[in-house]
Chains A and B, each alone.
Chain A
């Protein structure tokens, strides 16, 4: 009896590990933070595939292909730069803290760019405010695509997995860490934010931008509708996105203070869905969701392209639902199709004793009644 029980238990355990394996093991080798017997934090993305996709994209046509499709990254890097300048140069109402007049001339000796790609952000850095930029990226191809001569500041390249920042950067060492459009492929977002906070010196700055919210919703819905009609089911083709509302909570939970989070949207017009998909591939942003299907049937693709382009039909007496779908409908009037990229910008500071804190509850001396 005893023997049977233990044997069946072993069998059950074996079965369980096998089925778990289906759920978590990546198609092209297990993800580094995951072994057979431990379950890491929730795994969504196949990091190894993502690295390969980005390497391939960076090498294609000697880098020419990925240079043509840099428009979104360059635009966002530019908008991020504006945000880097604001906290340092802003007048007291915007950053009223310990930075007084002399800090306007504050100069970073190093800035870490986490998930730098080929250095879209680093290229915008000015030697008058920054001495050196450390670029960290898991794709060797993207990291070394552009020569040092294209950067105005000194650059150091570290080829390492963005998910394990603390393996290459010591805690409490960095003045500023930035991340431009890389965090949307990180599995453990709360974890990486905590690592960033640890790597920063007290009062260090974190400035990030990531795709989130409704990024590529047109492509997502077109593919879903096409799959339902043609095949009768759906599978993931566009990554799950971080909700903009969650980012503030995540930053707070990671221990950052003085948070600023905002969203910005870039809409790009393409001739059709096919050019959009080509460009996404050349950006190294192809699908890398774990458990994805590796092919899309050509009928489904053609159907999705037709649906994506679909022009809004005229409805004589639109109901609320009609309006909702007209607004959501894709396809511009000139025959092109739009693709939405929604970017979440985040600014957080590592706490320091010198930073201002809210006063104790009940310590107020002025009665609001007298003021109002």
Chain B
């Protein structure tokens, strides 16, 4: 048995850059959430991600509540919606 590793370019990098363009911002809410979660609120997202990874082996409910609250607030402001 052998497991070969290979990087295949899925052509996704190009579509990723497409997503940054404002034309897509007017489409579906989920697309807008995706844009804000990865670009507008990237800083808060990264802080949250780091918090989860620091407690990776012992995750409980609301273990990173503080970090997520900041991330969530940023998302709600960016989306101009409440949920």
Q: Contact residues of A with B, CB < 8 Å?
A: 68-69, 71-72, 75, 225-226, 228-232, 244, 261-272, 274-275, 279, 298-299, 301-303, 305-313, 321, 325, 329, 336, 342
- Residues in A with CB closer than 8 Å to B53 are 307, 310, 312-313, 325, 329
B52 to chain A, nearest CB (A): 5
Total contacts A to B, CB within 8 angstroms? 141
Bound-complex Cα distance A279 to B19 (A): 14
**Given contacts A228-B61, A230-B68, A305-B37, are A265 and B4 in contact (CB under 8 A)?**
yes
Residue on B with the closest CB to A228? B59
B28-83 contacts to A, CB under 8 A, are 30-31, 33-34, 37-38, 45-46, 48-50, 52-54, 56-57, 59-64, 68, 71-72, 75, 83
Bound-complex Cα distance A301 to B37 (A): 9
Bound-complex Cα distance A273 to B2 (A): 28
- Residues in B with CB closer than 8 Å to A310 are 46, 49-50, 52-53
Residue on B with the closest CB to A312? B53
Most chain A CB within 10 A, of B11, B52, B72, is at B52
- Residues in A with CB closer than 8 Å to B9 are 71, 268-269
Residue on B with the closest CB to A303? B68
Interface residues on B, range: 35 or more
**Given contacts A225-B59, A302-B37, A306-B37, are A269 and B12 in contact (CB under 8 A)?**
yes
**Given contacts A268-B12, A309-B49, are A263 and B1 in contact (CB under 8 A)?**
yes
Q: Contact residues of B with A, CB < 8 Å?
A: 1-13, 15-17, 19, 30-31, 33-34, 37-38, 45-46, 48-50, 52-54, 56-57, 59-64, 68, 71-72, 75, 83
A sample of 6 cross-chain residue pairs with beta-carbon separation below 8 angstroms, ordered by A number, consists of A232-B62, A269-B9, A274-B19, A279-B12, A303-B48, A306-B52
Q: Is the interface of A mostly helix, strand, loop or mixed?
A: helix
- Residues in A with CB closer than 8 Å to B12 are 268-271, 275, 279
Residue on A with the closest CB to B17? A271
Known: A229-B64, A269-B13, A310-B49. 10 other contacts (CB 8 A): A228-B60, A229-B62, A244-B1, A264-B4, A269-B10, A270-B16, A298-B33, A306-B71, A307-B49, A310-B52
B76 to chain A, nearest CB (A): 10
Asked if A275 contacts B6 (CB within 8 A), the reply is no
